[in-house]
Structure 1
Amino acid sequence: MDGISRVAVLTGAGISTDSGIPDYRGPDGVWTRDPALVDAFTYDSFMADPGVRERFWRTYLGHSAWRAEPNAAHRALAALEGTGVAVRILTQNVDGLHQRAGSSARKVLELHGSMHEVVCTGCGQRSPSRQTLDRVAAGDGDPRCPACGGILKPAVVLFGEHLDPGTAGLAERIAAHSEVLLVIGSSLLVEPVASLCAVALNAGHRLVIVNRDPTPYDEPAAEVIREPIGVAVPRLCAALTEAAGSAVRA
């Protein structure tokens, strides 16, 4: 890690499992335990079927992410900001735990949106999720926009939706200009996010992967780390901090 001053960090569901949020495809993942839930998180099904929306909102209301707290990996990445390393976090997660751990909001790019907002698919109005969830808890199974009556949707990218082009383009630029792309807890099976690894590699940068299971990019990676994320990430951040400090002292 010597001489590294610019690091892009791509995080997936695996970084939040230590916070009590299950991943999606692991042995105890959301889709593994209940494959039918995939429909509820698919845009076309969500928009077409009130019953799917009702199931979605019931599941969303009880999601463990609402009660989750940042863990050691989130905190280590936030602390890295205070060193001589320029850190940008590209996250597939919608839980907001990077920001709650202390990472600057302007340094966190939420590729798949945020679960803390709801957007109207009719007029585009955004509002805090809590307002809609309170309505669901009170018995409104398919809440509609109070302004126009349109279908409300969490401000996250559901299956079948495209990433915002501006967000995707910025992520590519960050991956192309960072000396290291550190991937944490991502299966790298979801496009176009997974292709950020190819962007970094094609630019001649190092790819480091911290993940429990194999990924499609393990072979070209400079390093693949299988130890628990809560152990590996603080260790890597400490190494980057030391390297930055050595560079400053030199």
Structure 2
Amino acid sequence: MLAVESRGLDRVVAFCGAGLSAESGIPTYRDAIGVWSSSLGLLVFGTKLGWLFLPELSYRVYSNRLREPIERASPDAGHRALADLEALVGAVPVITQNIDGLSQRAGSTEVLEIHGSALTERHARTGAPNPTTFRRPDVVLFGESMPGAFFDALDLVHSLDDRDVLIVVGTSCSVAPAATLPYVAMKRGARVIELNLRRELASEYQETIPSFADDAALPVGPPIPVAHLQTFIPGRAATTLPQLYAATLEARRQDVLFNKTTKHRSLIWGKTSCW
């Protein structure tokens, strides 16, 4: 059972991946039956070239595997728990790698879609919005630059410190550059609650810089230990996020009782623990 004290934190931010929407029926990307696991996903509708040279095939595959499931989907218990948490603590910015818009539909009001949105389209050649021909989803394909929302998310994570918490939920943290965001938060001193089926975050963070000579990354300085900032809770997002919300709600209630008894004021959130 996850328990959260209700004193000591300034901000709560969520960093979400495909596992958050799995209970809604949206395919995850890199598992055995994932959207990107086949050659069609990797080479055709997952790349800009595929949309340029095979637009009809790309749109058909995209429609069958992503657009139609997204249109049929509804927010699940995990999405709703994040929205409820926002209502409880005042603000929970959601940095999402998902393109399905389910966080907004659940009620989250500050959502940064760092991989774009499948709910809007642009021209595959010109980039113009709302095209009638050469339509493609307004999402980041393999090899494309990140949108402005990613840099907004990076600025947000850089602003975190040891008074803040980052909830990492439903992501393998393996897709760059988004995968670096939790480590940036931990480098800044923020505490991280990881809600995944298995532990994905490493216990050390190695900073790197690009090496243009061999298209690789060079390490900068020694690895930074970050395990002491991590709390790992195994399970599906649709189960663990409601537990987190319920524990926080109960902690707030207890805090109100504490304040009425002692006539002291306390802050929202605090250290995380399992019991």
TM-score range, shorter chain: 0.7 to 0.9
Q: Deviations over 1:49-104 (max 9, x none)?
A: 12xx2222112222311211100000011111211242100000000001111111
Shift of 1:158: 0.8
Please give the alpha-carbon distance, in whole angstroms, between the structure 2 residues aligned to 1:156 and 1:246: 44
- Match of 2:166, SS? strand
Question: Which structure shows the higher helix fraction?
Answer: 1
Distance 1:218 1:238, change over 3 A: farther
- 2:143 match: secondary structure: coil
SS of the residue corresponding to residue 89 of structure 2 reads coil
Give me the whole-angstrom Cα distance separating, in 2, the residues matched to 1:27 and 1:246.
44
Q: Do the aligned partners of 1:6 and 1:85 also contact (CA within 8 Å) in 2?
A: no
1:153 aligned onto 2:136: yes
Q: 1:59 is aligned with what amino acid?
A: V
| Pair 1:74 & 2:82 matched | no
Q: Does 1:17 align with 2:22?
A: yes
Match of 2:61 in 1: 59
Query: Are 2:178 and 1:170 equivalent residues in the alignment?
Result: no
Map of 2:182 onto structure 1: 197
Q: Quick one: distance in 1 between partners of 2:46 and 2:63?
A: 17
Structure 2: how far apart are the matches of 1:207 and 1:40?
36
| Residue of structure 2 equivalent to 1:239 | 247
**Structure 2 CA distance for partners of 1:18 and 1:218, relative to 1, 3 Å:** farther
Which stretch shows the higher mean deviation, 195-204 or 19-28?
19-28
107, 110, 114: which one pairs with 1:111?
114
Output the amino acid matched with 1:115. Answer: A
Q: Which of 22, 44, 47 pairs up with 1:40?
A: 44
1:93 matched to 2:98? The reply is yes
Higher strand fraction: Structure 1 or Structure 2? 2
Kept after mapping to 2: 8 A contact 1:92/1:112: yes
Residue segments in structure 2 that go unaligned for 5+ positions in a row: 205-226, 260-264, 266-275
State whether residues 59 and 135 of structure 2, in contact with CA within 8 Å, keep that contact through their aligned partners in structure 1.
no
Deviation at 1:47, TM superposition (A): 4.3
Aligned-pair CA distance for 1:227 = 1.6
Change in CA separation of 1:45 and 1:125 when aligned onto 2, cut-off 3 Å: closer
Q: 1:83 to 1:214 in 2, by over 3 A?
A: closer
Kept in 1, the 8 Å contact 2:170–2:236? The answer is no
Change in 2 beyond 3 A, CA 1:22/1:44: closer
Q: How many correspondences in the alignment? A: 224
Task: Give the alignment of 1:218-237 within 5 angstroms.
Answer: 220=227, 222-237=230-245
Instruction: State the Cα deviation string for residues 22-57 of structure 1 (Å, max 9, x = none).
Output: 21122332234x34321123334224412xx22221
CA–CA distance in structure 2, aligned partners of residues 245 and 198 of structure 1: 32
Q: TM-score, normalised by structure 1?
A: 0.81
What is the rounded CA distance, in whole Å, between the counterparts of 1:206 and 1:70 in structure 2? 27
Root-mean-square deviation over aligned CA pairs: 2.2
Q: 5+ residue gaps in structure 1?
A: 128-144
Task: Tell me if the contact between 1:212 and 1:228 (Cα under 8 Å) persists in the aligned partners.
Answer: yes
Which residue matches 2:166?
A: 181
Secondary structure of the corresponding residue to residue 69 of structure 1: coil
Q: 2:128 aligns with which of 125, 142, 160?
A: 125
Percent identity (aligned): 37
